Amino acid sequence: MEPRDLGSPAPWRRLLASRSFAIGGVLLVAIALAAVFAPVLAPYDPLRGNFRLRLSPPGPLHWLGTDHFGRDILSRLLFGARLSLAIGAATTVASGLLGALIGAPAGYFRRLDEPLMRLMDALMAFPAILLAMAIAATLGASVGNVIIALAIATTPHTARVVRASVLVVRELEFVEAARSIGATETRILLRHVLLNCLGPLIVRLTYVFAIAVLAEAALSYIGVGPPPPAPSFGNIIAGGRDFLVTAPWITIAPGSAIIAIVLALNLLGDGLRDVLDPRLRI
Amino acid sequence: MLLAFVLRRLGGAGVVFLLVSLLAFLLIWLVPGDAVAVLLDAAASPEETARLRAALGLDRAPLEQMLAWYGGLARGELGHSLLLNRSVAEALLERLPVTLSLAALALATAVVLGTSAGIGAALAHGSWFDQALMGAALFGLSVPDFWLGLMFIIVFALGLGWFPTGGFVPFSESPVGWARSLALPGLALGLTQMGFIARMARSAMLDVLDQDFVRTAEAKGLSRRRIILVHALPNALVPIVTVIGIVSGALLGGSVVIEQVFSIPGVGRLIVGAILARDFPVIQGGLIFLAGVYLLVNLIVDLLYAVIDPRVRLA
């Protein structure tokens, strides 16, 4: 018994008709393909520099120029996008699982609501980016720890979104119907309630992805992100910090790449929200 | 009724603050292995190790540590910095005015520009103007604030020479220098938050324009100008008050990174320095401190909201 499944043609058709969704989707798929095929597409080794060509401006040999070690910026960006999208995707999955794990029982079982949500309120009181930095630095700089840090920082809001939908859905008639035929509470929550809360959760997770990409850049700019020499958007920008006058392209290119990814995700999120979560209208 | 609401909110914020300090306390337990070993190099003598362990309070039982932690907090103490050799609370308070002026400038930028853009878009609903404004708002949401700061340095500081590339001038020393030193970071921070407020303001205004009382005002034959200024606008501004609470968290977080970009000696720079040096008392104190500021701002916003909109008190 699936009261409203996301697979029915109507929402999909509406989604494809959404201009935000189409533009965001195409942009994101293009960037994701470039990131996945980075080893094939990158014209140079992202880690190997040519000292004679250091700080060369964009030109036919190096489309986006080189950095202070003579490394090709375009190649570094492609590999940076790979890292950024991988961290973003992993954070999104973790935030979704943790958010559902905490938000669903909080919304469904009245007794768990207060303690769980107070804990989420406390986590949300810390500036998210600062919390992520503190956790990532404490655990030690690694890709896995950055994902853990970003997941902890984004989960409270996700849990709140899930809880809010569960509060509405648990009062609907089909829940009572399921209960009347003897379904257990856990089964009702998992099979019937949670499934009908997927819309707002998917919308929230699209924005979590965008937030994670921005936050990963900030973390690696500060120096608590994935360890160098692996290129990330943030550490490429940090590397260009001392060459803002002589080689601004080092700084400009990765920032533009971040904007493209985050804009694509935000457009995708807006398109999804219009279809999946009509209550919100921003 | 209002008093009951105030007390309830105060109690809620108090509980959350106790949890906040507990979470900050637990941070040091996330250190893989022995925290003291991570902080010192292998050549450290046993005496040095023991001294640091005592300084961090790690030589005591966990429960004892926690009681000491809350005891210090009750006296307004946040511990002692390992590197600065001074009280964490003092170091934070000393830098608070810098961060608060930066955040206030950013907040003013974001609220004034965001609200105007959002209201303007709502009034021109569906037009190219609306679409252009909302496109710009979405774009602003997608720009990393610290990177925008660097772009501002390239254009307005290094290129045009209108502003310094970084540093901070206290207000007492030179008001003009103070404003010049905060203009670029404040603008970078404010502009990236503006999009969020613009979207909220537009949605709030559209909701209000859809209400029956606006239709009644139209039916009465009031001028559009009067309907918008007297009937719609004040009601649309009410929900925007809550946005200030939400945005303040993002601004405090954003200022942490932007202070680094512009070498501004605020709370954020202190904490980032501590994070890079693993100076745990400062990291923990800083986390509690900024969370406290955030909770306080949101408490004030909630109370303000309850005063403006009496329906909230009943919820």
Chain A CB contacts of B290 below 8 Å: 126-127, 130
Please judge whether B150 and A133 are an interchain contact, meaning their C-beta atoms are less than 8 angstroms apart: no
**pLDDT tens digits for range B79-110:** 888 888 888 999 999 999 999 999 999 999 99
Question: Can you give the pLDDT at residue A282?
Answer: 40
**What pLDDT tens digit does each residue of chain A (282 aa) get?**
344 554 455 667 777 778 889 999 999 999 999 999 989 888 888 888 887 888 888 988 888 888 888 899 999 999 999 999 999 999 999 999 999 999 999 999 989 999 999 999 999 999 999 999 999 999 988 999 999 999 999 999 999 999 999 998 888 888 889 888 988 888 888 888 888 888 899 999 999 999 999 999 999 999 999 988 889 999 999 998 889 888 999 999 999 999 999 999 999 999 898 888 755 444
Q: Is B254 on the interface with A (CB under 8 A)?
A: yes
Q: Which of residues 248-277 of A touch B (CB under 8 A)?
A: 248, 251-252, 254-255, 258-259, 262-263, 266-267, 270
With CA atoms as reference, the chain B residue closest to A214 would be B144
Q: Is B67 in the A-facing interface, judged by CB distances under 8 Å? A: no
| Residues of chain A found within 8 Å of residue B138, distances taken between Cβ atoms | 263, 266-267, 270
Integer angstrom CA distances of residue A242 from A154, A250, B164, B228: 32, 10, 15, 50
Please indicate whether, in this complex, the C-beta atoms of A129 and B253 are within 8 angstroms of each other.
yes
* Residues of chain B found within 8 Å of residue A137, distances taken between Cβ atoms: 275-276, 278, 283
- Distance CA(B191)–CA(B196), nearest Å, equals 10
Residue carrying the six token digits 């310094």: B164
The crossing angle, in degrees rounded to 10, of helices A73-108 and A198-222 is: 140
CB-CB contact of B106 with B257 (8 Å): no
Rounded (10°) angle between helices A143-169 and A198-222: 150
What distance in Å separates the CA atoms of residue B42 and residue B38, rounded to the nearest whole number?
A: 9
**Residues of chain A contacting B23 with CB distance shorter than 8 Å:** 122-123, 126
Distance CA A113, CA B12 (A): 14
DSSP state of B78: -
Helices (H), A172-226: 173-180, 185-187, 198-222
Assigned token pair, A257: 């790449």
**pLDDT tens digit sequence for B38-48:** 777 666 777 77
Q: Do A127 and B253 touch (CB under 8 A)?
A: yes
Q: Which residue has the higher pLDDT, A87 or B228?
A: A87
Is residue B118 predicted with pLDDT exceeding 70?
yes
Q: Which residue of B has its CA nearest to A137?
A: B275
DSSP B57: T
Query: Rounded to an integer, what distance in angstroms lies between the CA atom of residue B128 and that of residue B108?
Result: 27
Shortest CA gap A263–chain B (Å)? 5
Tell me whether A122 touches chain B (CB under 8 Å): yes
Which residues partner with B80 through β-bridges?
B87
- The pTM for the full model equals 0.91
Q: Which of residues 196-225 of A touch B (CB under 8 A)?
A: 210, 214, 217-218, 221-224
> Of A134-148, A194-208, B62-76, B209-223, which range is least confident?
B62-76
Distance CA B153, CA B160 (A): 9
Supply the DSSP string of B184-244, one letter for each residue.
Answer: HHHHHHHHHHHHHHHHHHHHHHHHHHTSHHHHHHHHTT--HHHIIIIIIHHHHHHHHHHHH
Provide the shortest C-alpha distance from residue A73 to chain B (in Å): 17
Residue B192 · residue A210 · CB < 8 Å: no
Residue window 193-252, chain B: list those with CB within 8 Å of chain A.
199-200, 202-203, 206-207, 249-250, 252
CB contact under 8 A, B144 and A218: yes
CB contact under 8 A, A137 and B276: yes
Residue B215 CB neighbours (<10 A): 12
B142 Cβ under 8 Å from any chain A Cβ? yes
**Distance from the B177 Cα atom to the nearest Cα atom in chain A, whole angstroms:** 23
Nearest CA-CA distance, residue B227 and chain A, Å:
23
B12: nearest CA in chain A?
A: A118
Contact between residue B250 and residue B193 where contact means Cβ atoms under 8 Å apart: yes
Option in A122, A241, A245 nearest B16 (CB)? A122
pLDDT at B189 over 90: yes
Phi/psi region, residue B165 (left: phi>0; alpha: psi -120 to 50; beta: rest), is alpha
Position B76 scores a pLDDT of 80
Q: What is the ipTM of this complex?
A: 0.90
Quote the minimal CA–CA distance from A178 to chain B in Å: 30
Instruction: Quote the minimal CA–CA distance from A38 to chain B in Å.
Output: 23
Instruction: Based on DSSP, count helices (H) and strands (E) in chain A, helices before strands.
Output: 12, 0
The answer to whether the beta carbons of residues B39 and B278 sit under 8 Å apart is yes
DSSP helix/strand/coil, B179: helix
Q: Do B154 and A245 touch (CB under 8 A)?
A: yes
Contacts of B20 in chain A (CB under 8 A): 122, 125-126
Is A255–B30 a contact, with Cβ atoms under 8 angstroms apart? no
Output the six-digit token pair for A249: 């392209």
CB A232 within 8 Å of CB A84? yes
B27: left (phi over 0), alpha (psi -120 to 50) or beta: alpha
Residue B257 to residue A259, Cβ atoms within 8 A: no
- Identify the burial level of A184 via C-beta atoms within 10 angstroms of its C-beta, where 0-12 means exposed, 13-18 middle and 19 or more buried: exposed
Query: In this complex, which of B31, B148, B291 lies closest to A125 when CB atoms are compared?
Result: B291
Q: What is the pLDDT of residue A1?
A: 39
pLDDT over 80 at B315, yes or no: no
Residue of A nearest to B158 (CA): A245
CA distance A180 to A185: 11
- pLDDT number for residue A278: 59
Calpha distance A159→A117 (Å, rounded): 8
Q: Output the pLDDT for position A2.
A: 42
- Whole-number pLDDT of residue A36: 93
Convert the pLDDT of each residue in B290-304 to its tens digit. Answer: 999 999 999 988 888
